Structure 1
Amino acid sequence: MLSTLLVPVPWLPFAVLVALVVVAPFVGVLLARAPRTTTVLAVLALVAVLGATLYPEGTPSAAVRCSVELPYLAPTASESIANVLLFVPAVFLAGLRTARPLLTAAAGIGLSAGIEAAQAFVLGIGRACDTSDLVTNAIGAVIGGLLAAAALGLVRRRATRRR
């Protein structure tokens, strides 16, 4: 479904990802001062991830289906880049809120693995697991963790300058 929506503008997910990488550390400095807002945004991002990945699609499957392949990563590979982009905000916001970006990146990778397992074994949702989704989601989780670490580094840097 996502790939059909992105056919007319295959460069859009990559452009959004680049913009997010540039802007997120600076937005993170502001969000670090607003823990409630960060928590609400993190929960909303998590709900969006779960909705996009576990909402029933198609007809229920009669058997477990899982595709084992590596993703195609290119700026115009809109579905792969969208899968990367899916996990960046949730992990970024959770990393800011907990001040543990590496742990939240690992949790994001674990969440992606759990989602893929649910897609494989919960036959009623009509989805199939795909290892390329796991890889791209893990890349997004790592990017989100790195962006949170960068934002927290900027916060610490500002705090030491003020002293």
Structure 2
Amino acid sequence: MFPFGGVEVMLLGALVAAVVCAVGAVLVRRRTGWSWAISLWLLVWSVVVIGLVTLIPANGAPGIVPVEGRLEECSWDIGGPAPDGFWIFSGGQRLLNAVIFVPSGALLVMVVARWPRAAIVLAPLGLAALVGYSVGIEFTQLALARIDRACDVTDMIDNATGAAVGTLLGVPLAFVLRPWKRSTVER
């Protein structure tokens, strides 16, 4: 049996991760400045939260998933049987799958913008890493039937779309916040 689950566990995990990331930002900021330190640790936090939301059973511990109920492969039905939405938020699950990756994409650009010349290569590599993370999550959902989640190629496409939108939004955000600069107040 999967020993835990539910929204409360997700929220507790997000809170613990937030505290750890806040401490990390405080420790890093002296060397890098607040803008970049916060961007880095918010990126780490957003990736952790994605893992929590997608790999912890949403409705508590599901117990035993019978072999007959376990999928043997990912659903390749694009646009497939996605439910109407996660009960916490309004809107379709497909929109939520995209939206959850937007902050990570934007924060990725903020982090790599510290090195403007390398960012041209690092941003697409980071985007590819976020897409790989999504694929890894979906295959983990397939392998671990006890978490009562389903592997779906539509989720991968929606997650990749959200990460790409976030990356595009991160470019003007980086020019506004300029994480490569340290303010005189921070020095």
TM category, shorter: 0.5 to 0.7
Identity %: 30
> Could you tell me which amino acid in structure 2 is paired with residue 43 of structure 1?
V
Q: What is the rounded CA distance, in whole Å, between the counterparts of 1:109 and 1:46 in structure 2?
A: 12
> Could you tell me which amino acid in structure 2 is paired with residue 93 of structure 1?
L
Mapped pair 1:97 → 2:111:
yes
After superposition, what is the alpha-carbon deviation per residue over 1:32-51, rounded to whole angstroms, capped at 9, x for unaligned? 96111112211221111001
Unpaired stretches in structure 2, ≥5 consecutive residues? 1-5, 8-32, 81-89, 114-121, 182-187
Contact 2:134/2:160 (CA < 8 Å) preserved in 1?
yes
> Could you tell me which amino acid in structure 2 is paired with residue 64 of structure 1?
L
Mapped pair 1:139 → 2:161:
yes
Q: What is the rounded CA distance, in whole Å, between the counterparts of 1:35 and 1:120 in structure 2?
A: 36
TM-score of the pair, normalised by structure 1: 0.65
> Could you tell me which amino acid in structure 1 is paired with residue 109 of structure 2?
G
Contact 1:105/1:144 (CA < 8 Å) preserved in 2?
no
| Corresponding residue of 1:150 | 172
| Corresponding residue of 2:43 | 42
Query: Runs ≥4 in structure 1, deviation > 6 angstroms?
Result: none
Kindly indicate which of the two structures has a greater share of residues assigned to helix.
1
| Corresponding residue of 2:135 | 113
Cα distance, 1:148–1:59 mapped onto 2, change above 3 Å: same
Structure 2 residue matching 1:56: 3-state secondary structure: coil
| Corresponding residue of 1:68 | 76
Mapped pair 1:85 → 2:107:
no
TM-score of the pair, normalised by structure 2: 0.57
Contact 1:101/1:149 (CA < 8 Å) preserved in 2?
no
Contact 2:35/2:177 (CA < 8 Å) preserved in 1?
no
Over the aligned positions, Cα root-mean-square deviation in angstroms equals 2.7
Task: Return the offset for 1:150.
Answer: 2.9
Cα distance, 1:33–1:146 mapped onto 2, change above 3 Å: farther
> Could you tell me which amino acid in structure 1 is paired with residue 159 of structure 2?
N
Contact 2:134/2:159 (CA < 8 Å) preserved in 1?
yes
| Corresponding residue of 2:118 | none
Contact 1:101/1:146 (CA < 8 Å) preserved in 2?
no
After superposition, what is the alpha-carbon deviation per residue over 1:51-97, rounded to whole angstroms, capped at 9, x for unaligned? 1100024344333343222228xxx9621111110101112112211
Contact 1:108/1:141 (CA < 8 Å) preserved in 2?
yes
After superposition, what is the alpha-carbon deviation per residue over 1:11-32, rounded to whole angstroms, capped at 9, x for unaligned? xxxxxxxxxxxxxxxxxxxxx9
Unpaired stretches in structure 1, ≥5 consecutive residues? 3-31
Bigger Cα Rg: 2
